[in-house]
């Protein structure tokens, strides 16, 4: 059995466990199973949104039974705070996506600004299709409506860390996911 502390402190903020490793594993398996079915006979291109999605992507992709390509994009929107800045920096200059079935792998969708900007840019490169797989979604925080084809779990509007998700770059290495609920 895996065990995790129930609380952790990152930059003097207290976070409580929200999802344990076994629960995350189940969410990832569910998404992989659906993608394996939906894309049977296709050769999708998985686009990992760095840095937060790296743990999700690495676990999910090892459960994908399709012939597929993998590429990465870097996105940054949170800066050093717990709220989205609304400004999104994306680096997608060298992507070869024309005619491909893209599946974007995202750790969490909050306001939707990051994915909205990424999708806008990708459309200019003429892919065959674009779908999104996100481990977590905070629907109460959404500012832009985004069509999320695969969602691991919808969560309340808490700030979460662990399993790739950071608070000012710390906390990514935690194997479980922890949440900070404003008092
Ligand atoms: P959005 O553009 O507001 O949808 O935010 C998307 C990005 O912000 C995600 O890819 C994360 O990197 C980051 N983010 C959103 N919510 C959280 C959170 O609760 N913890 C850590 N990072 C988050």
pLDDT in tens, 29-47: 999 999 999 999 999 999 9
Q: Which residues line ligand 1 at a C-beta cut-off of 6 Å?
A: 49, 52, 77-78, 84, 106-114, 159-161, 165-166
Both tokens of 182, joined, read: 């404003």
pLDDT value at 158 more than 90: yes
* 38 in active site: no
State pTM to two decimals: 0.92
The pLDDT assigned to 183 comes to: 57
Mean predicted confidence (pLDDT) in 99-116: 96
Active-site residue (options: 101, 110, 147, 166): 110
pLDDT at 99: 96
Q: Is 11 exposed, middle or buried (0-12, 13-18, 19+ CB in 10 A)?
A: exposed
Q: CATH fold of 22-75+97-157, please? A: Rossmann fold (3.40.50)
Write out pLDDT tens, residues 57-89: 999 999 999 999 999 998 776 555 566 666 666
More confident residue, 117 or 37: 37
- Report CA(40)–ligand 1 centroid distance (Å): 30
Q: Which residue CA neighbors atom 20 of ligand 1 most closely?
A: 160
* Interval 150-177 mean pLDDT: 96
Ligand 1 centre from 109 Cα, in Å?
Answer: 6
Q: What is the pLDDT of residue 181?
A: 79
Sign of CA dihedral 133, 71, 29, 176: negative
What average pLDDT score do residues 108-113 get?
Answer: 95
Nearest CA to ligand 1 atom 9: 108
Q: Structural domain boundaries of the chain?
A: 22-75+97-157
Residue 1: band (very low, low, confident or very high) from pLDDT cuts 50, 70, 90: very low
């Amino acid at each position: 059995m895996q065990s995790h502390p129930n609380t952790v402190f990152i930059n003097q903020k207290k976070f409580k466990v929200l999802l344990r490793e076994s629960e995350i594993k189940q969410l990832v398996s569910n998404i992989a199973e659906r993608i394996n079915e939906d894309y049977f006979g296709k050769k999708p291109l998985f686009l990992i949104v760095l840095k937060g999605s790296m743990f999700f992507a690495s676990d999910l992709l090892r459960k994908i039974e399709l012939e597929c390509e993998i590429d990465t994009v870097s996105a940054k929107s949170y800066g050093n705070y717990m709220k989205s800045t609304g400004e999104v920096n994306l680096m997608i200059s060298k992507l070869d996506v024309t005619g491909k079935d893209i599946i974007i792998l995202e750790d969490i969708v909050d306001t939707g600004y990051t994915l909205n900007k990424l999708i806008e840019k990708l459309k200019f490169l003429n892919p065959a299709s674009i779908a999104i797989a996100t481990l977590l979604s905070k629907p109460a925080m959404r500012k832009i409506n985004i069509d999320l084809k695969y969602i691991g779990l919808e969560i309340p509007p808490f700030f979460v860390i662990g399993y790739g998700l950071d608070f000012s770059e710390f906390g990514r290495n935690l194997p479980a996911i922890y949440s900070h609920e404003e008092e």
